[in-house]
């Protein structure tokens, strides 16, 4: 069962050492190993943005799962996603099946994710939240990560709506029994942490959208499972073979440079389950 309303939001890393503005608390309870659901735009986003956290949570015995918004379940990228999730211990692919904004034939006959009604996309995510019943949900940041991909931004918007709707019985009643996760985090990139990666992306003509360092509420050291994370990234073979894709860029780097880029993951706390008390809207007497 999730912690009672009003208790601290579970952290991504499983302890409180990395979360800014809070005191360290030993990771000694089941709440320190929160179940985790990632919701991302494309196959490979889960490995690039949260592969280390997914691997760490699975190794600690927590349930983990990933929802992927684009590409058809019978596409070649679905098979690559299945391999990556197997490496990370994150279960089977859960694919919404919308088309990639830049590759319409990625899901023949389906709308592009960025064109689909927001409420429709959110309802599908609610269904997975209620089925998985995670304590923590992780998605893209509002920029849509460093390059501002429209599918990432749409996934962020829909997941934000779904996080709040999932616990309300009169919203999406067809999607299963209500379940309110404890915390919603965005995978993100602080200004101070994108020098190496930003230079690589700029070199291939991509923009770099990072956030002020103060927006990051938790940084997780995933160096202990960096080989596992890299294997999951490279399981997306079609992307690793491309010159301008991030898996392709990483695959061609020297090992030490590559590890310095992928050995930490940054997150911003976007939302928490409603808690009683602490009213701030009433004027003081």
pLDDT of residue 284: 58
From the CB of residue 274, how many other CB atoms can be counted at a distance below 10 Å? 10
H or E segment to which residue 64 belongs: strand 64-70
Q: Please state the pTM of the whole predicted model.
A: 0.90
Q: How far is CA 103 from CA 84, 151, 233, 251, 276, in A?
A: 21, 11, 20, 23, 45
pLDDT tens digits along 93-142: 999 999 999 999 999 999 999 999 999 999 999 999 999 999 999 999 99
- Higher pLDDT, residue 22 or 210: 210
Model confidence over 53-67: pLDDT tens digits? Answer: 999 999 999 999 999
Q: Which residues of 70-106 are buried (b: 16+ CB within 10 A; e: fewer)?
A: bbbbebebbbbbbbbbebbbbbebbbbbbbbbeeeeb
Phi, psi of 159 (to 5 degrees): -70, -40
Q: What is the mean pLDDT of the chain?
A: 90
DSSP labels for 45-56? HHHHHHHHHHHH
* Mean pLDDT, rounded, for 220-247: 97
- Contacts of residue 55, defined as CB under 8 A and 6 or more positions apart, other chains included, come to 87, 88, 89, 222, 225, 228, 229, 232
Measured in degrees and rounded to the nearest 5, phi and psi for residue 204 equal: -105, 20
Per-residue confidence (pLDDT) for residue 15, from 0 to 100: 56
Q: What sign has the CA pseudo-torsion 16, 89, 124, 39?
A: positive
């Amino acid at each position: 069962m999730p912690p009672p309303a009003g208790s601290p939001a579970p952290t991504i890393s499983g302890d409180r050492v990395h979360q800014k503005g809070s005191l360290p608390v030993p990771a000694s309870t089941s709440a320190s190993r929160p179940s985790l659901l990632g919701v991302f735009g494309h196959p490979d986003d889960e490995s690039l943005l949260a592969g280390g956290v997914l691997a760490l949570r699975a190794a600690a015995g927590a349930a983990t799962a990933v929802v992927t918004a684009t590409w058809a379940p019978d596409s070649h990228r679905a098979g690559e996603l299945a391999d990556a999730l197997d490496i990370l211990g994150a279960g089977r692919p859960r694919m919404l099946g919308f088309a990639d904004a830049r590759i319409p034939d990625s899901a023949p006959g389906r709308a592009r994710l960025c064109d689909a009604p927001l409420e429709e996309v959110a309802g599908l995510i609610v269904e997975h939240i209620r089925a998985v019943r995670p304590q923590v949900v992780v998605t893209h940041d509002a920029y849509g990560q460093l390059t501002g991909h429209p599918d990432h931004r749409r996934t962020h918007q829909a997941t934000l709506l779904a996080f709040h709707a999932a616990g309300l019985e009169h919203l999406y009643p067809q999607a299963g029994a209500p379940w309110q996760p404890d915390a919603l985090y965005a995978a993100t990139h602080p200004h101070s942490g994108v020098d190496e990666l930003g230079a690589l992306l700029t070199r291939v003509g991509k923009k770099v959208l990072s956030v002020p360092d103060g927006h990051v509420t938790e940084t997780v050291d995933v160096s202990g499972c960096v080989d596992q994370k890299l294997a999951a990234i490279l399981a997306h073979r079609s992307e690793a073979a491309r010159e301008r894709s991030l898996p392709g860029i990483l695959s061609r780097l020297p090992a030490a440079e590559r590890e310095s880029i992928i050995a930490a993951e940054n997150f911003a706390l976007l939302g928490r389950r409603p808690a009683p008390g602490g009213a701030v809207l009433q004027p003081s007497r």
